[in-house]
C-alpha cells in the first residue's frame, strides 16, 4: 500500500499464494544469494494508557514511501495502523493491558527499504508491575550447531519474585531449525537453551505472564534468527598464475573453486599481497584483477566472508610476474631458420606456445603440439641446445604470429614455465624503419635506414639482418 492509498492485491492463483505464504511466513530480511541478510532496523518502545487511541510519529524519513505491517505479534494487546497525512504516524488502539511487538517495512521510491520494530506497552495508572521490555534483542545470525541461550529475566522488566506466573519461549517452526527450548534450572537466571540444527531461518517468540491483581498480563517479544554455515576453503584448489610485465589477469573468486559456501551465500573478499611492489590488486565484487608492475613471485592472501557471522576463511594464490624478452620476428625468411633456441637446456621436452596465465598440463601441451599450435623439441641430456621453430618448416605448415609466448618445460609429469618471450610483428618493425627514414627527411626507407635501425637494436642476428634487407628492398 502507498502513503497516499492502500492497495489490495488479490492473487488469482491459490498456488502462488501458497508459495508466497510458505516463503514469507515471516520476513526477517531481504535475501541475497541463498542466505538471509538482515536489514538495518530502528528500534523504539511506545507506552500508552488503556482507553483511547494515541498517535506516534514514525521515527523515519518516509514521506512518499510505501509501507506494510510485517507483524503484530499479539494484536489482542493493541492494533496498529498508519495515518498518512499530514506526516506518517502510527495509530495505536489499546485493547488490554500488556505488551506486544510490531514491525513495519517502509519502501522508498528508490527501492531502498527500512524496517521499524517497536514494542507497545498498554498500561493503567492504577496498576503496577506490568511487564515491559528491558533489552530489545536484535536479529541474530547463529552458526550451525551453536547453543543459543535466552534469559527472559535479562530481556523483560517484571516483578520476578512475586508476580511472574509463567514464562514461555518457542520457535515458530517447532523443533525443525532449533532443538526445542529447555529451561536450565541450574542457572540463577533460568535461561532457555536450544541448539541450531538446520541452516534455515526461524523466529523465536518470548512471553512473560504476570499476575496483576485479578488480571493476567502478558508481554510478548520476538527475535528473528538465521542459522548459518561458515564458508569453506578448499586447500586442494591451489592457484598458481603467471602474468607478464604490465599485463593483468582477471580472476573470478566465487567460481574459482577455492571458496564455497554451504548455504550458497554471496561471499565478500579481501586481498593482501606479499611482498609488495610486484603486483597491484583490485577487487570489483568477486572479480580480482592482478596487474604486474615488476617481476618476481608474490603470495596473495585471500580472505572470504559470508557477511552472516560465519568464520573467516583464508587461502593463498601464487602469482609469478614475468618480464618478456624479445625473442625474434614473426614470419618465415628464406635461407635462414627462424627459431627460438634454448641453450644449456634441461633434460626433457620444451614447448613454445602462446603465453597463458595458467600452466597447461602435459596432455594439453601434447595436443597443441600435434596440431601445430605449439612447437615441441626434446633435450636428450642436460646441457643440450634445443630449437623451437617460429617459421614454417618441414614439420610445420604454419608460422607463429606475433605476440607473447611461453617456453614450457616438461619432465613427463611436471610442467614449468621457463621464459616469457615476445615475437615482434613485421608491421611494427617496418614502421620503426620507416620512422627512421622520416627522421632523415625521406618518405620511403632504403638500405641506409635499415642499417641504422639494425645498429640501434643492439641485436644483430641473422633474422633481423635478413628482415632489414627485405624491408629496404621493398
- 220 with 301, same domain? no
Question: 124-133: buried (b, 16+ CB within 10 Å) or exposed (e) per residue?
Answer: beeeeebbbb
Per-residue pLDDT band for 460 (boundaries 50, 70, 90) equals low
- 150 with 220, same domain? yes
pLDDT of residue 2: 39
- 336 with 215, same domain? no
Which residues are paired to 81 by β-bridges? 91
Evaluate whether 271 touches 283 at the Cβ level (below 8 Å): yes
Count of Cβ atoms closer than 10 Å to residue 473 Cβ: 10
- 368 with 451, same domain? no
As for how many domains the chain has, the answer is 4
- 300 with 351, same domain? no
Angle between helices 462-473 and 426-439 (to 10 degrees): 60
- 313 with 394, same domain? no
If you ran DSSP here, which 8-state letter would residue 199 be given? S
| Mean predicted confidence (pLDDT) in 229-251 | 89
- 199 with 295, same domain? no
Q: How many helices (H) and strands (E) in the chain?
A: 6, 34
Whether residue 369 is contained in a domain is answered as: yes
Q: What is the CATH number of the domain that holds 166?
A: 2.60.40.10
Whether residue 283 is contained in a domain is answered as: yes
Q: What is the CATH number of the domain that holds 345?
A: 2.60.40
Whether residue 1 is contained in a domain is answered as: no
CB < 8 Å & 24+ apart, contacts of 131-134: 131/98, 131/99, 131/156, 131/157, 131/158, 131/164, 131/208, 131/210, 131/217, 131/218, 131/219, 132/45, 132/47, 132/99, 132/156, 132/157, 132/158, 132/219, 133/45, 133/99, 133/101, 133/157, 133/219, 133/221
Whether residue 307 is contained in a domain is answered as: yes
**Residue 436, SS3?**
helix
Give me the domain span that covers residue 218.
14-228
Q: What is the CATH number of the domain that holds 299?
A: 2.60.40.1080
- Residue 242 in grid coordinates: 603467471
Whether residue 27 is contained in a domain is answered as: yes
Query: Whole-prediction pTM value?
Result: 0.73
- The predicted-structure confidence for 13-46, as pLDDT tens digits, reads as follows 333 333 333 333 444 444 344 688 999 899 999 9
Is the pLDDT at 351 greater than 70? The verdict is yes
- 338 with 436, same domain? no
- 288 with 345, same domain? no
Evaluate whether 77 touches 32 at the Cβ level (below 8 Å): no
Q: Give the residue from 322, 344, 369 where a domain finishes.
A: 322
- The predicted-structure confidence for 257-304, as pLDDT tens digits, reads as follows 899 999 999 999 999 999 999 999 999 999 999 999 999 999 999 999
- 419 with 430, same domain? no
- 111 with 55, same domain? yes
pLDDT: which is higher, 4 or 279? 279
Matching residue, cell 602462446: 354
Evaluate whether 245 touches 326 at the Cβ level (below 8 Å): no
Whether residue 339 is contained in a domain is answered as: yes
Q: Give the residue from 228, 248, 264 where a domain finishes.
A: 228
Q: Give the residue from 265, 292, 322 where a domain finishes.
A: 322
| Of residues 272, 267, 270, 271, the one with CA closest to residue 307 | 267
Whether residue 6 is contained in a domain is answered as: no
pLDDT of residue 22: 38
Whether residue 173 is contained in a domain is answered as: yes
- Residue 127 in grid coordinates: 496498576
- 330 with 297, same domain? no
Amino acid at each position: 500500500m502507498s502513503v497516499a492509498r492502500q492497495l489490495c492485491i488479490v492473487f488469482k492463483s491459490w498456488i502462488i499464494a501458497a508459495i508466497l505464504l510458505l516463503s514469507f511466513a515471516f520476513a526477517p530480511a531481504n535475501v541475497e544469494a541463498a542466505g538471509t541478510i538482515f536489514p538495518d532496523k530502528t528500534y523504539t518502545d511506545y507506552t500508552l494508557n488503556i482507553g483511547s487511541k494515541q498517535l506516534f510519529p514514525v521515527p523515519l524519513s518516509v514521506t512518499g514511501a510505501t509501507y506494510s505491517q510485517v507483524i503484530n505479534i499479539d494484536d489482542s494487546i493493541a492494533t496498529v495502523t498508519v495515518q498518512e497525512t499530514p506526516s506518517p504516524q502510527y495509530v495505536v488502539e489499546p485493547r488490554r493491558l500488556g505488551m506486544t511487538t510490531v514491525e513495519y517495512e517502509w519502501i522508498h521510491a528508490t527501492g531502498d527499504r527500512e524496517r521499524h520494530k517497536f514494542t507497545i506497552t498498554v498500561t493503567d495508572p492504577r496498576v503496577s508491575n506490568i511487564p515491559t521490555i528491558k533489552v530489545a534483542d536484535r536479529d541474530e545470525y547463529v552458526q550451525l550447531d551453536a547453543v543459543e541461550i535466552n534469559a527472559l529475566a535479562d530481556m523483560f522488566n517484571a516483578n520476578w519474585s512475586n508476580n511472574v506466573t509463567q514464562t514461555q519461549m518457542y520457535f515458530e517452526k517447532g523443533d525443525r531449525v532449533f532443538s526445542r527450548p529447555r529451561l536450565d534450572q541450574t542457572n540463577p537466571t533460568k535461561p532457555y537453551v536450544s541448539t541450531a540444527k538446520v541452516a534455515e531461518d526461524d523466529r523465536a517468540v518470548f512471553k512473560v505472564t504476570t499476575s496483576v491483581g485479578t488480571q493476567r498480563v502478558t508481554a510478548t517479544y520476538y527475535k528473528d534468527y538465521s542459522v548459518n554455515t561458515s564458508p569453506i576453503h578448499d586447500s586442494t584448489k591451489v592457484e598458481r598464475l603467471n602474468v607478464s610485465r604490465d599485463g593483468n589477469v582477471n580472476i573470478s573468486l566465487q567460481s574459482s573453486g577455492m571458496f564455497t559456501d554451504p548455504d550458497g551465500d554471496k561471499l565478500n573478499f579481501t586481498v593482501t599481497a606479499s611482498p609488495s611492489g610486484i603486483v597491484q590488486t583490485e577487487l570489483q565484487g568477486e572479480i580480482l584483477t592482478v596487474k604486474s608492475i615488476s617481476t618476481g613471485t608474490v603470495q596473495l592472501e585471500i580472505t572470504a566472508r559470508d557477511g552472516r557471522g560465519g568464520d573467516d576463511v583464508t587461502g593463498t594464490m601464487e602469482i609469478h610476474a614475468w618480464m618478456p624478452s624479445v625473442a625474434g620476428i614473426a614470419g618465415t625468411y628464406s635461407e635462414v631458420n627462424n627459431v627460438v633456441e634454448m641453450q644449456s637446456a634441461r633434460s626433457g621436452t620444451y614447448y613454445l606456445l602462446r603465453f597463458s596465465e595458467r600452466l597447461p598440463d602435459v596432455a594439453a601441451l601434447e595436443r597443441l603440439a600435434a596440431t601445430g599450435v605449439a612447437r615441441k623439441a626434446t633435450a636428450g641430456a642436460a646441457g643440450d641446445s634445443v630449437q623451437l621453430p617460429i617459421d614454417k618448416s618441414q614439420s610445420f605448415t604454419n608460422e607463429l604470429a606475433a605476440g607473447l609466448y611461453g617456453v614450457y618445460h616438461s619432465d613427463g609429469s611436471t610442467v614449468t614455465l621457463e621464459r616469457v618471450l615476445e615475437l615482434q610483428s613485421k608491421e611494427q618493425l617496418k614502421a620503426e624503419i620507416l620512422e627512421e627514414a622520416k627522421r632523415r627527411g625521406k618518405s620511403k626507407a632504403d638500405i641506409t635506414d635499415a642499417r641504422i635501425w639494425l645498429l640501434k637494436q643492439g641485436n644483430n642476428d641473422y633474422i633481423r639482418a635478413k628482415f632489414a634487407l627485405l624491408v629496404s628492398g621493398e
